[in-house]
Structure 1
Amino acid sequence: MLKDKEFYTEIGLLTGVVGERIDKDGILRSCMFKSRNKISHHGEIYIPKYESGDVRTRYRDAVSFYKSGKLKSLYLNERQEIDCPVGKMKAEFVSFYESGRYLRIFPVYGQINGYWSEREEAELLTSYSIEIGEQKIEAKISCIVFYESGAVKSLTLWPGENVDIKTPYSKIKVRFGISFYESGAVESIEPENPVHLTYDACSFFAYDNHPLGIHGEKNSLSFYENGTLKALKTTITAVVLTSEKEEIRIAPEQKISQTDIDAMEVYPINIEFLNQSVRITDSSGYIHEYSLLQFKMGTEQVIENLYQKCGDCSNCSKCSTGI
């Protein structure tokens, strides 16, 4: 450390430092700025956030570092065009692997509040056309995550955006996000509507009426890298397991809504297809696993569940499921 509010770092001298956080070893881990700094990092020039007062400005660190001193993230003073593994795109917040390669890019990073709406934030965005494996995706993107190799790990779509994704089963309309294997194969998606899938001669309708929707890294319908079905959530399909001694039925259940105690809504079950077994997480969160060497698996469709409260009227699909 030089004089007050100036720090030497691996990315150079930082001036006008405020709100600094220093670890027990005396290493600067994060800070904000009250004056302009220019940071050169792996061929790009960045200006971290130093101006405030804008209604959409977040109160957070402008720069953060790994314990090693390597740059971890930058909140940029204004959106700027950067050259990333999928081409040129505008960014307002970026994070890095310790190697210096991009980890996450947020094209916009404004604070949604009573003075700044999601619609106004969306108007700052433009659609990007991105090719990943056999997928060609064109949409407004909230966040893109990379593997350290530069391959795309996930895309989070801007709220209300939809894209068509090719899968071994069919082309599926997707909301919220998509995740990928490093090879470019689709790892998981969040279906816009209930999707009919067949596995081991059983019929499933994949759909989550309570998707996380925050990021595109974990979604309710997932595949193994070879394209076979890995897991799904469903509000419509019940699983029936039959052995010589018993029959077990696990179905999506109606429970009191978490948002309206006077209403009931369906909570999905999660079904994972393992090597020689099936693992089911029921509507209450209890996990059940059954050997497919001992049980024969079948399915039933709980049609009445289709017309129960879904928790998101804007995505109601009861007229388009084809059941």
Structure 2
Amino acid sequence: MNSIKTKKYGPLTGVTFSETYKNGILKGCAFNQANHIKTPLGTLIPNHGESTLRNREGLSLEFFRSGQIKSIDLAAATGVATSLGLLSAERISFYESGSIHRLFPLNGRINGYWTENDEYTLAEPIAFDLLVGDFTAKIVSLCFYESGALKSLTLWPQEIIEIKSPDGLIKVRYGFSLYENGNLKSFEPALPEPVDTPVGIILAYDCNAHGINCDQNSVTYGQDGTISSLLTSNSGLMVTTSGSTQLVQPVMKPGKIDPEVMIPEPMTVLFHKNALEIVQDTVIAVDLLTSQVRSVLVHDPLKKACGNCSECSHCG
């Protein structure tokens, strides 16, 4: 068995594979026997031994260049203390200070033999009591600020929750992010969501949204609760400047699965003081002091936008 000495964690034994940074500093290891790693969260044991149907292969323990632990795939689900209480984790990533960065209750390898539904079935619902509301849901991961405050929460795609926003109660898919004080920063609408903006109500929805992580989402608010940006697949903007009027709306583009079927490409709207930007293939800057802008419905969310439900989730 191979052994590697580390300054911060002592000797690591049973090393079957290791990687180093270009300067030779240890980057990570895989093991065939248990190692007990002392961390601010207590003693943690990285995954080791032969891979199984569900276990991920590769480095189960990774380090920053400083030698501080960066991430660990755990040998078994382990309870760890967080600002939200004791939570079970199979994978944890850290800030260089040792604080938790991300926590994953499950860390199974999704493939042809172990599916997302298999992993979802294993997930246990967790109850949350936050400023944005109380709810219980199965989660993929939690992201924390270095202070320990919750930064974002990522849901399993099968989950939909209801939370409070500056626009009232909203249904959320995939997840949301928070400011460090607990106020809502962004969320992913489960359905086209009416959002109050300086140019009227816009239906916010991203038919191409994914749930890899929810640090950033379709609807973003400033710390004062005013709208900062949103994506829309349903609304257009009628812009009138110097007597000429232009309708800017989500562009219909060939679907990725079936190029013969056209689907709307979500349009991003960024709100600034007395101005806004509309982002599509190009960026259109609009001065609200010299232009009149009003929102209009261009794709009715009660009707199918493209007629091809396999292409996207535009209809919710």
Task: Give 1:303 shift.
Answer: 3.6
SS state at 2:290 partner: coil
Tell me the equivalent position of 1:100: 98
Aligned sequence identity (%): 32
TM-score of the two chains, using structure 2 as the length reference:
0.93
Hey, what does 1:231 align to over in structure 2?
A: 229
Between 96-105 and 304-313, report the one with greater CA deviation.
304-313
Deviation at 1:140, TM superposition (A): 0.6
Specify which structure has the higher proportion of strand: 2
Name the counterpart of 2:269: 271
**How far 1:193 moved relative to its partner?**
0.5
SS at 1:130 equivalent: strand
Equivalent AA in structure 2 for residue 291 of structure 1: D
Which deviates more from structure 2 when the two are superposed, residues 168-177 or residues 131-140?
Answer: 131-140
Deviation at 1:137, TM superposition (A): 3.1
Q: State how far apart, in whole Å, the 2-side matches of 1:254 and 1:24 are.
A: 46
2:176: which partner in 1?
178
SS at match of 1:122: helix
Amino acid corresponding to residue 304 of structure 2 in structure 1 = Y
Letter in 1 for 2:133: Q
What is aligned with 1:200? 198
For 2:79, the aligned partner's letter is E
Amino acid at match of 1:236: N
Of the three residues 297, 300, 316, the one matched with 1:301 is 297
Provide the secondary structure at the position in 1 that maps to 2:3: coil
Distance 2:2 2:192 in 1: 59
The answer (yes or no) to whether the contact 1:133–1:183 under 8 Å persists in 2 is no
The list of structure 1 runs, each at least 4 consecutive aligned residues, that deviate by more than 6 angstroms after superposition, is none
| SS of corresponding position for 2:122 | coil
- For residues 132 and 229 of structure 2, what CA distance do their matches in structure 1 show? 22
Q: CA shift at 1:221, angstroms?
A: 1.0
CA contact (8 A) 1:147 1:182 kept: yes
Quick one: which amino acid aligns to residue 297 of structure 1? V
Aligned equivalent of 1:50: 48
Q: What does residue range 9-24 of structure 1 map to in structure 2 within 5 Å?
A: 9-24=7-22
In the other structure, the counterpart of 1:292 is 288
Indicate which of 71, 78, 81 corresponds to 2:69.
71
Q: Is residue 244 of structure 1 aligned with residue 242 of structure 2?
A: yes
Residues 195 and 43 of structure 1, relative CA distance in 2, 3 Å threshold: closer
Q: 1:126-145, aligned counterparts within 5 Å?
A: 126-145=124-143
Aligned CA distance change for structure 1 residues 314 and 10 (closer, same or farther; 3 Å):
same
1:210-242 C-alpha deviation (Å, 9 max, x unpaired): 113211111111111111111111111111111
DSSP 3-state at the match of 1:81:
strand
Q: CA deviation at 1:135?
A: 2.3
Shift of 1:267: 1.2
In the alignment, what sits opposite 1:259? 257
The answer to which of 24-33 and 73-82 deviates more is 24-33
Tell me the distance in 2 between the aligned counterparts of 1:170 and 1:303: 23
Aligned pairs for 1:70-89 (under 5 A) are 70-89=68-87
Q: Take 1:256 and 1:124, find their aligned partners in 2: how far apart are those partners?
A: 37
In 1, the alpha carbon distance for the partners of 2:309 and 2:85 equals 37
Q: Distance in 1 between matches of 2:229 and 2:199?
A: 16
Residue by residue, what CA displacement relative to the aligned partner does 1:1-27 show, whole Å, maximum 9, x if unpaired? xx9433223122211112211224332
| Structure 1 residues without counterparts, runs of 5 or longer | 319-323
Report what 1:321 is aligned to. Answer: none
**Count of matched residue pairs:** 314
Moved more, 250-259 or 301-310: 301-310
8 A Cα contact 1:189 1:220, kept in partner: yes
Residues 294/311 of structure 1: CA separation in 2 closer, same or farther (3 Å cut): farther
> C-alpha separation between the residues in 2 aligned to 1:229 and 1:35?
52
Q: CA deviation at 1:311?
A: 5.4
Q: CA offset at residue 290 of structure 1?
A: 1.2
Normalising by structure 1, we get a TM-score of: 0.92
Higher deviation after alignment, 173-182 or 194-203:
194-203
Question: Partner letter of residue 284 of structure 2?
Answer: H
Q: 1:178 and 1:253, CA in 2 relative to 1: closer, same or farther beyond 3 A? A: same
Partner Cα separation in structure 2 for residue 211 and residue 316 of structure 1: 10
Distance in 2 (CA, whole Å) between partners of 1:302 and 1:89 is 44
Structure 1 residues 312 and 193, CA gap change in structure 2 (3 angstroms): farther
Relative to structure 1, the CA distance from residue 24 to residue 195 in structure 2 (aligned partners, 3 Å threshold; closer, same or farther) is closer
